[in-house]
Each structure stands twice: as structure tokens, then as C-alpha cells.
Structure 1
Amino acid sequence: MVSIKDIAKKAGVSISTVSYALNGSTKVTKETSERIIAIAKELDYIPSAAARSLKKRETKIIGVYLTDYSGAFYGQLLQGMMETLTQNGYELIVCSGKESHRFLPERMVDGAIILDATYDTEELLSHAERGHKLVVMDRKIDHPNISQVLLDNKAGATLAIDHLAEKGHNKVYVVKGPEESFDARQRLEAVRKAVQRYSHIEYIELDGDFNKPSGETAAKKIHDEFSGPVGVFCLNDEMAIGMFNYFSGKKLKIGKDVHVIGFDNIETAQYIHPRLATINYSKFKWGALASELLLKLIKNQEIDHERINVSLVEGDSVGKR
């Protein structure tokens, strides 16, 4: 890779002169600057983002860390982040995996938004202690350099259980999410608390992993045990759609025998038949708010933690028992 040293050698000038020229400094004459820039283009010189960020103390880039990119959940969320950042002169890069964690200590990004269950809280606190600005969307952390914007998972899960109970269901399955997911844990905690208010409800938990295959596996279990109409709360829509996939070729029907409610209101939910009942919130707003909070942190402005409200979207996938 071509360096400033290579340009200086070919131009017959010092490295500092090349640096001044490439950064538009008036310390170099117009003629010398134009000659250096021409040589840089000839050698196909690419400036080092890391070196530039160390000098200017900013990159105008924000990193968002995700556990993975699968499923229909992330599109609107990332769009909300990107639009807010673009309006404020920043760009967004999407990161996943341990290797990308070095972007923060190496100051290749100006701050980070975390929705990554595999990113250790201790590591995030270590970054914050060094002055890095962070917004978390999947955990609670108390630190002046960290803000949080969380879903009201507990309200959403309570709405789902209440909806099934109001429809007269006295046997309810809950398809869980991955154990490392903050959202899944909060939803399950609220479910367990909510069912205690309904002494007539038989409550059964099934394993899930926030994806369609785990929804299909749970559906098979329900099918094998079926003895009458049941309610099912899938802790996200992807698993609910997996359940639809399984029962599409079976005699038991969604909305008649198996009454399903999801969580997230992904776009697909409104197009499947019968319409999936689910818990709704604005993923765009969630992403936009996370970006807004991070930009305020970077500017050392005062901030408060935020919460994203949820609501119930009724659908024919849940009927009366």
C-alpha cells in the first residue's frame, strides 16, 4: 500500500510537506500542493482512515453491532438509524463478530449502538471508562458514557397473555427465545408473572431461538400433544411464521385450533393468512432514537434513558376458544 513516505520520495519533499498538501494547508504553495496531489493520484494513494481519525479525533462514522442480520426484523431499524445519522453528517457501518470490536478502541468509529447479545457488558463498560460513547438497546447499564433505549418488552408480553385469556383460552403455550437475548428474557419474565393472574390457564413453555425453524419445531410439539384448542404466544414473529409454515399442511388450522400471537409486527405479519396477531412498535423510531441519543452523547449533551412503547395488533390468528 502506498504511503505518504512514498509520495514524499517521488516529489522530493518532506513527509510533513506532503501531509500539509493533502490536508489543504496554506503552509504549502499552490504549485507544490498541486504537484503532490497529482503524484498521490498517480500512485493511487488511499488515505488511512485510522490516521485521519487520530488527527481530527473523529471519523463521522457510527458503528452498530448486531448479533446477526437474519430475519425480517432489521430493515426498518437500520433505516431509522441511517436516516438520523445522515441528516447529521454521519455514516453508519454494521458490525458483527469479535474482530470488529477493535473499531472502538482504535477510534475507527466515533461511537457505537449495541444490539448484540454476544458483546460482553464488561467490555462495553471498559470502553465507556476510556471515554467512548455508547447506546445499548439490549441491556441495562449505568454509566455516564452509556445511554439506553429499550423496548417495553414486559408490557408487550403482558398484552399478549391478556389477549389470549380474554379470548377464553385456558391452555397456553409460550415459545421462548434464546437465553442470551435480553428481550427474550424480559418477555418470558413478564409472561410468567401474567399467567399467575389466571389460575384457570394451563401454561407450557417450549424452547425457541427467534427463527422460523424453531417455530416449526415448537409447532410439531403442539401438534403431537393436541387435545383441543390452544393459545400460543411466540416471543417473536419469526417463530410465529415458522408455526404457520408447519400447520399449513395439517388438518389443524391457525385461528381455529391453534391460536397464535407473535411479537414485533414485522412486515410479513400483515400479509399472511390469517393475519397474525402481534405486538407492535416502531422499529424505525427505535433505531432513530438510538442514533439521536448517541449523537447527544458525542456532543456531551444531557440525555435521559428512553423506552419504546408497544401496542397490540389483533388478527384472525387468535380467535375465541
Structure 2
Amino acid sequence: MVSIKDIAKKAGVSISTVSYALNGNPKVTQETSARILAIAKELNYIPNAAARNLKKRETKILGVFLTDYSGAFYGQLLQGMRETLSQKGYELIVCSGKRSHLFLPERMIDGAIILDETLSDEELLQYADLGHKLVVLDRELDHPNISQVLLDNKAGATLAINHLIDKGHRKIYVLTGPKGTYDSIQRLNAVRQAASRHPDIDFTEIEGNFIKSSGEKAAKQILEESNQPVAVFCLNDEMAIGIYDYLSNTDYKVGKDIHIIGFDNIEVSNYVHPRLATIDYSKWRWGAVGSEQLLKLIANEPVEHERIYVTVIEGESVTNI
């Protein structure tokens, strides 16, 4: 690989002169700078980004850590992040897996947005102690270098349960999410609080994992257990779509035999028939606010924790009984 030492040798100048020329420093005359840049191009010189970043202590690149990329959820979230950051001259890379955790301590990125349960609280607090700037979307951490931008899961789950109760439903299944995820835990806790306030309602929990196949599996169980109309609160829309898919091969009808409400209002929820009732919020805004908070932390500006609010979208998948 060509180095600035090779350029200096061919140009007959010092290494420092080459460095000044490559970085546009006015200490080098235009004529000398043009000659050095021409030689660099001729030799196919590629700057050592890692060394340059280490010297400047910035990369103008931020990372978002995700557990995985599957499902229909992430597109708008990432778009909100990317558009917000690009306006400020930053680029975004999406990180997943243990090896990517090294991007922070090795300063390959200037900060990170976290939506990844594989990063432990202890690991994140350790990075924050070392001065790394972080925004968490999936947990509550108290540290001056960490900002929280959390979804109002409790309000959303409460809205969903109340919507079913208001429609007259007294037998309600709850299809849960992965046990370790913050959003799933918060939503399920809200459901359990609602159950404690309504002892006349029969709540049954079915373990899910936020993917469509768990919705299909849950639908099979529900049909085996119940011979009367029931309601199902799926802690995300993707599992709700799984129930739709399973019922499409049976004589049972959504909104008649099984009443379904989801959470997230993913795009496909607008097109299933009958329209899925769900909990809505702006995923674009969630990503945008998370990015804004991270930029403030990097600039050492004061930040306050933010919350993303939710609303219920009524659909024909839930009707009066």
C-alpha cells in the first residue's frame, strides 16, 4: 500500500509537506500542492482513515446497534435517523453482532444509538464512563453521557386493552414478545396491571417472539382452546399478521370469531382485510429524535430524556360483541 512516505520520495519533498498538501494546508504553495496531489493520484494513494480519525478524534460516522434487521419495523426508524444525521454532515452505519461492539472503544464511530438487547447495561455504562456518547431506545440508564428516547409502551398497551374491553370483550389472549426485550416487558407489565384492575375479565398469556410464525402458532392454540369469540392483543403487528395468515386457511374470520389488535402500525397493517386495529406512533420521529439527542451529546449540549407518544388506530379487526 502506498504511503505518504512514497509520495514524499517521488516528489522530493518532506513527509510533512505531503501531509500539508493532502490536507489542503496553506503552508504549501499551490504549485507544490498540485504536484503532490498529482503524484498521489498517479500512485493510487488511499488515505489511512483510521489514522486520520484517531488524530482528529472524530469520524463523522454514527452507529445504530440493532439485535437484527428482520421484519417490517426498521425501515422508517432508520430513515428518520439517516435524514436527520445527513443534514448535519454525519453518516450512519447499522451494526449487529458481537464484533461490531468494538466500533465504540476503537473509535470507529463518534457515538451510537442502541436498540440491541445483546449489549448489556454494564457494557454500555462502561463505554459511557470512557466518554462515549450513547442514546438508548430500549432501556433506562442514568448517566450524563447517555440519553433515553423511549417509546410509551405502557400507554400503548393500556390503550389496546381498553379498546378491547370497550368493545365488550371479556376473554382476552395476550401474545407476548421476547422475554429479554424492554418493549415487550413494558407492554406486558401494562397488560398485567390492566388485568389486576379488571378481575371480571379472563386474561390468558401466550408466549411469542415478535415474528410472524409465533402468531400462526398462537392462532392454532387459540382455536383449539376456545369455541366462542375471543380477543387477542399481539404485542407487535408482525405476530398479528401471523394470526391472519393462519386463519386464512380456516373457516374462522378476523373481526367475527377472533378480534385482533396489534402494536406498531407497520405498513402491511393498512392493507390486510379487515384492517388491523393497532397502536400507532411515528417510527420516523423516533429515529429522528434519537439522532438529534446523540448530536447534542456529542456537541456537549444539555439534553433531556424524550418519550415517543402513541395513539390507537381502530380497525375492523376488532368489533363489538
What's the TM-score bracket when you normalise by the shorter of the two chains? over 0.9
Q: Distance in 2 between matches of 1:189 and 1:217?
A: 23
User: What's 2:194 paired with?
Assistant: 194
User: Is 2:49 the counterpart of 1:49?
Assistant: yes
- Which sits farther off after the overlay, 271-280 or 214-223? 214-223
Check 1:2–1:242 CA distance in 2 against 1; reply closer, same or farther (3 A cut). farther
Shift in Å, 1:16: 2.2
Q: What's the TM-score, normalizing by structure 2? A: 0.97
Q: Distance in 1 between matches of 2:160 and 2:95?
A: 32
CA contact (8 A) 1:49 1:108 kept: no
Q: Distance in 2 between matches of 1:10 and 1:66?
A: 47
Shift in Å, 1:50: 1.8
- Which sits farther off after the overlay, 239-248 or 50-59? 50-59
Code of the residue aligned with 2:82 in structure 1: it is M
1:141-186 residue CA offsets vs partner (Å, 9 max, x unmatched): 0000000000000111011111111111111111111112100010
User: What's 1:173 paired with?
Assistant: 173
User: Is 2:303 the counterpart of 1:313?
Assistant: no
Unaligned runs of 5+ in 1: none
Q: Secondary structure at the match of 1:196?
A: helix
Over the matched positions of the two proteins, sequence identity in percent amounts to 70
User: What's 1:14 paired with?
Assistant: 14
Q: Secondary structure at the match of 1:138?
A: coil
Shift in Å, 1:229: 0.6
User: Is 2:49 the counterpart of 1:78?
Assistant: no
CA contact (8 A) 1:254 1:260 kept: yes
User: What's 2:278 paired with?
Assistant: 278
Q: Distance in 2 between matches of 1:239 and 1:251?
A: 20
Shift in Å, 1:262: 0.2
User: What's 2:217 paired with?
Assistant: 217
Code of the residue aligned with 2:106 in structure 1: it is E
Q: Secondary structure at the match of 2:62?
A: strand
Q: Secondary structure at the match of 2:63?
A: strand
Q: Distance in 1 between matches of 2:149 and 2:174?
A: 26
Shift in Å, 1:208: 0.8
User: Is 2:235 the counterpart of 1:238?
Assistant: no
- Which sits farther off after the overlay, 143-152 or 17-26? 17-26
Check 1:30–1:281 CA distance in 2 against 1; reply closer, same or farther (3 A cut). same
1:223-263 residue CA offsets vs partner (Å, 9 max, x unmatched): 22121111100000010011111101111111100000000
Shift in Å, 1:124: 0.9
CA contact (8 A) 1:174 1:233 kept: yes
User: What's 2:94 paired with?
Assistant: 94
Q: Distance in 1 between matches of 2:239 and 2:35?
A: 61
Please provide the CA RMSD for this pair. 1.3
Q: Secondary structure at the match of 1:284?
A: helix
Q: Distance in 2 between matches of 1:120 and 1:47?
A: 35
Q: Distance in 1 between matches of 2:318 and 2:88?
A: 43
1:89-113 residue CA offsets vs partner (Å, 9 max, x unmatched): 2111111111111211122211111
User: What's 1:39 paired with?
Assistant: 39
Q: Secondary structure at the match of 2:162?
A: helix
Q: Distance in 2 between matches of 1:138 and 1:37?
A: 47
Q: Distance in 2 between matches of 1:116 and 1:145?
A: 18
- Which sits farther off after the overlay, 9-18 or 245-254? 9-18
Unaligned runs of 5+ in 2: none
Code of the residue aligned with 2:46 in structure 1: it is I
Shift in Å, 1:66: 0.9
Q: Secondary structure at the match of 2:165?
A: helix
Q: Secondary structure at the match of 2:263?
A: coil
- Which sits farther off after the overlay, 30-39 or 83-92? 30-39
Q: Distance in 2 between matches of 1:181 and 1:241?
A: 20
Shift in Å, 1:133: 0.6
User: What's 2:253 paired with?
Assistant: 253
User: What's 1:28 paired with?
Assistant: 28
Q: What's the TM-score, normalizing by structure 1? A: 0.97
User: What's 2:61 paired with?
Assistant: 61
1:29-57 residue CA offsets vs partner (Å, 9 max, x unmatched): 32332222122212222222222222222
